[in-house]
Structure 1
Amino acid sequence: MNDAAATAPRKAALAFIFITVLIDVLSFGIIIPVLPHLVEQLAGGGIANAALWVGVFGTLFALIQFVCSPIQGALSDRFGRRPVVLLSNLGVGIDFLFMALVNSLPLLLIGRCISGATAASFTTANAYIADVTPAEKRAASFGMLGAAFGVGFIIGPALGGLLGGIHVRAPFYAAAVLALANFCYGWFILPESLPADRRSARFDWSHANPFGSLVLLRRYRQVFGLAAVVLLSDLAHYVLQSVFVLYADYRYGWGPQKVGYTLALVGLCNAIVQAWLVGKLVPRIGERRTVLAGIVFGGIGFACMALAGNGPVFLIGIPFLALWGLAGPSTQALMSQQVGPREQGRLQGAVSSLASVAGIIGPALFTQVFALFISNHAPIHLPGAPFLLSSFLLIVALLVAMRVTRSGAQEDVANRKPEIVTPGMPLAEVRANDGGHEQR
């Protein structure tokens, strides 16, 4: 009876977090088709000029996320997950409304900075999952968040293109409505997942700054190694955002419609893998094997895309790339199992900062490689070189993952510092928590 009573609130909380991430991805996906056109208008016209500014917007957004993600994670460890999630939803909604109304490029740039600062609910959502989900079920729950991302990626750009045909500002208004509705829904529905006695005693800037937050990763051998896997994987993924449209047009002559259908297929396959297959596979073969298998499939998918001489062969790589989605949730689960409850938010903030680092490096890296290997100065004409680079990055990630997951968990448990025990603290929490170094 007690188990059933505890399961119902947990399921309700997980459902809300799923909806929160889905709406976040939807709201950002909606503006993907129209933001460059709005930038072009405010920049005075010209595709080349607009492309320059879009690059600036993307890099600045990633930089802001790099700084703010660990701050949100540390705030959630100190004050709880609920207020941080709600603040993120409110800030994103107000920001989209702001961007819908501004009439100058500097103001639009300020809007994107606000988005980068507030749109880190995925960080706190991951910490929330770690709070309310048993360790053995976290991979499946993280997979559900990945599925929310996939569904949002399918629906968002399509809806944005439809609304953008009505007016270039319409998607921004729609995104604002979605985010603010999410805030209102959460205000009345979302429970707190982190009890007061499990929160950090104080907000520590040494943990909240993006570099200080990485110290947490260094304290755990397996977590630090898996963080390298996350960084390499995130970097490899940016080939799709950076050069896929250009590559498909250059090599296969695909226009916007075919590109849109292909992206929808990618999102659909990814959602199926993360929502269904992760939960089925991890209990059978474990997180470690699931991580390794996912990375192998991702490397095969990128290699297939790089070497495909025609569009149908390129499409064969999409299911392999979707199976790469097995690795992400399982990696998150392994990392969260090595960190105590008082540090889950900082862990997810540090991981989000790594993703932001990839966002700063990736676009420039892959566009430059693509430009080089289709130019007259290329050592060999190889349009698929960026995808081969992504495949190589995943090979390196595979080697790192194989090494750190072989015995890292046992070493981390042995090296943990003793926790200061508070009255009434469950013995399981005392053993799982590495918070003894904190001032209480």
Structure 2
Amino acid sequence: MASITNGSANTLESPLTEKKGILGQPIAVWAVFFASVIAFMGMGLVNPILRELSMQLKAAPSEVTLLYTSYNSVMAVAMLITSTVSSRLGMKWTLISGIGIIAVMSFFGGFADNIWTLVGLRAGWGLGNALFVATALSAIVSLSNSGAAKAIILYEAAVGIGMSVGPWLGGTLGDISWREPFFSVSILMVAAFLLLTFIMPKPKPAAAQAAGRAGSQISLLAPFRALKHRSLLVLGIVAALYNIGFFTIMAYAPFVMQLEPKEMGYVFLGWGVLLAITSVYVAPILQRKLGTLKSLVSMLVLFVADLVVMGVFTDTKETVICAVIFAGAILGNTNTLITTAVMGAAPVERSTASAAYSFLRFIGAAISPYMSGKLAEHFNSHVPFIVGAGFVLLSILFIGLNLKHIKHVDRLKASH
């Protein structure tokens, strides 16, 4: 597994040499973990209420999916500035700024009276999430006392828990009113804001910051320069293609399952629980047994098959529900494997690598929701899943065509 230093060098560490277990973290790591759970809750919060929003706000499904498209589009672009902002504000204040923006946007989202207002507020929410997400992984790795490998697993666990609890909370509260989930996230974000304010380590004194400013500030062009490393570019494109399939499930599957918000919340709770478990426990085992790339390709092949099943049996609600839940296990493994590969792919600052990779990743996440809705409107409800499977298949082919640029991820691991 890859470990990233504070500088540009990438070194490797074995889990056998790590002194602390994954649970033996400083309190600051757990503070960021908790805030990460809440931040990722927002990503899946609207899943169970998409159909409800469509009916209550009299919006077409493709218009409702813009809640994901606007959110992910802004996240993609904002990722390009996150490392620059973080290098100037520091990790603590970048995280806090992101959380503050999310709290405000989700609060006003609860008062929206039309879909376009919500789409705009979700775009602002995406900005806050970009500031937080791009910095959170770097913060957990930096503050962890158990090494980068376990820190990445911990981060992916936060992703899984957040993305499972978010839909469950959205569905449960959505049964009362579609507005309630937005208010609840705002309250939780305020709690996370206070937690990080008081628990995160204080930034360096102003004099020390000024002394190191020239060498520590990161240029706006840094993510673009990072993408000159073919390995990082390849993995970013793979993630973009894979995320088209990912967000076909997130943004479109709720429309074909025909469930009430609370029922939808339980489906995605099962999905998210499997995602979290496989992120933490299964992905490391696969990585040790097969290597990062073979494991990644295996998961992508399974994901193609899962999407094809949804595409063929779209009219059978029970089959789609089972396929969505099973997808959680596939996606949990995939997320951890590809994140670990990215963090060791190129000799650049981890915050810059995360920003460059996330920019490409969220382009795919932005394209998928609206595209899925339009494909269903112009063709039928089967087509979005088949097209999503096609894009994931392209990611596998792209890995094969560019294997020489990324195979060092496994070679470095083996050479430790």
Describe the SS at the equivalent of 1:204.
Answer: coil
Unpaired segments ≥5 residues, structure 1: 208-212, 375-382, 415-440
Q: Choose which of 329, 334, 341 in structure 1 pairs with 2:341.
A: 334
1:374-393 → structure 2 map (5 Å cutoff): 374=380, 383-393=381-391
Provide, for residues 267-299 of structure 1, a one-character-per-residue CA deviation record: whole Å limited to 9, x for no partner: 222122112212333233332222222212212
Deviation at 1:57, TM superposition (A): 4.4
1:168-247 → structure 2 map (5 Å cutoff): 168-191=178-201, 200-207=215-222, 213-217=223-227, 219-247=228-256
Tell me the distance in 1 between the aligned counterparts of 2:119 and 2:317: 37
Deviation at 1:405, TM superposition (A): 4.2
Q: Choose which of 350, 355, 369 in structure 2 pairs with 1:344.
A: 350
What is the match of residue 426 of structure 1? none
What is the match of residue 81 of structure 1? 91
What code does the residue aligned with 1:345 have?
A: S
What code does the residue aligned with 1:232 have?
A: L
Deviation at 1:206, TM superposition (A): 2.6
What code does the residue aligned with 2:37 have?
A: L
What is the match of residue 138 of structure 2? 127
What is the match of residue 34 of structure 2? 19
Given that 1:37 and 1:168 are in contact with CA atoms closer than 8 Å, whether structure 2 keeps it comes out as yes
What is the match of residue 406 of structure 2? 408
1:274-353 → structure 2 map (5 Å cutoff): 274-308=279-313, 310-314=316-320, 317=323, 318-319=325-326, 322-340=329-347, 343-353=349-359
Tell me the distance in 2 between the aligned counterparts of 1:192 and 1:35: 40
Tell me the distance in 1 between the aligned counterparts of 2:147 and 2:403: 18
Give 1 or 2 for the bigger CA radius of gyration: 1
Given that 1:74 and 1:349 are in contact with CA atoms closer than 8 Å, whether structure 2 keeps it comes out as no
Q: Choose which of 241, 257, 270 in structure 2 pairs with 1:248.
A: 257
Given that 1:27 and 1:176 are in contact with CA atoms closer than 8 Å, whether structure 2 keeps it comes out as no
Change beyond 3 A, Cα 1:345–1:193: farther
Provide, for residues 146-167 of structure 1, a one-character-per-residue CA deviation record: whole Å limited to 9, x for no partner: 3323322332233233334445
Change beyond 3 A, Cα 1:292–1:165: closer
Change beyond 3 A, Cα 1:113–1:13: same
Change beyond 3 A, Cα 1:27–1:119: same
Tell me the distance in 2 between the aligned counterparts of 1:27 and 1:187: 21
Change beyond 3 A, Cα 1:170–1:89: same
Equivalences, count:
386
Matched, 1:357 2:363: yes
Given that 2:168 and 2:266 are in contact with CA atoms closer than 8 Å, whether structure 1 keeps it comes out as no
Tell me the distance in 2 between the aligned counterparts of 1:73 and 1:315: 39
Deviation at 1:234, TM superposition (A): 0.8
Given that 1:139 and 1:287 are in contact with CA atoms closer than 8 Å, whether structure 2 keeps it comes out as no
What code does the residue aligned with 1:357 have?
A: I
Provide, for residues 54-104 of structure 1, a one-character-per-residue CA deviation record: whole Å limited to 9, x for no partner: 355443333322221221232224443222111111221233233345667
Matched, 1:46 2:58: yes
Change beyond 3 A, Cα 1:141–1:8: closer
What code does the residue aligned with 2:287 have?
A: V
Tell me the distance in 2 between the aligned counterparts of 1:7 and 1:359: 30
Change beyond 3 A, Cα 1:168–1:285: closer
Describe the SS at the equivalent of 1:176.
Answer: helix
Provide, for residues 182-220 of structure 1, a one-character-per-residue CA deviation record: whole Å limited to 9, x for no partner: 01111122237999769953342333xxxxx33421x21
Tell me the distance in 1 between the aligned counterparts of 2:306 and 2:299: 11
1:252-271 → structure 2 map (5 Å cutoff): 258-271=263-276
Tell me the distance in 2 between the aligned counterparts of 1:234 and 1:259: 21
Normalised to the residue count of structure 2, the TM-score between the two structures is 0.78
Deviation at 1:144, TM superposition (A): 3.2
Change beyond 3 A, Cα 1:77–1:193: same
Normalised to the residue count of structure 1, the TM-score between the two structures is 0.74
Given that 1:93 and 1:177 are in contact with CA atoms closer than 8 Å, whether structure 2 keeps it comes out as yes
Change beyond 3 A, Cα 1:257–1:118: closer
Change beyond 3 A, Cα 1:406–1:116: same
Change beyond 3 A, Cα 1:370–1:7: closer
What is the match of residue 377 of structure 1? none
What RMSD over aligned residues (CA atoms) do the two structures have, in Å? 3.8
Deviation at 1:11, TM superposition (A): 4.7
Provide, for residues 221-248 of structure 1, a one-character-per-residue CA deviation record: whole Å limited to 9, x for no partner: 2111111111111112121133213333
What code does the residue aligned with 1:226 have?
A: L
Provide, for residues 126-159 of structure 1, a one-character-per-residue CA deviation record: whole Å limited to 9, x for no partner: 223444569x964554343333233223322332
What is the match of residue 102 of structure 2? 92
What code does the residue aligned with 2:220 have?
A: W
Given that 1:163 and 1:171 are in contact with CA atoms closer than 8 Å, whether structure 2 keeps it comes out as yes
What is the match of residue 278 of structure 2? 273
Unpaired segments ≥5 residues, structure 2: 1-17
Change beyond 3 A, Cα 1:161–1:265: closer
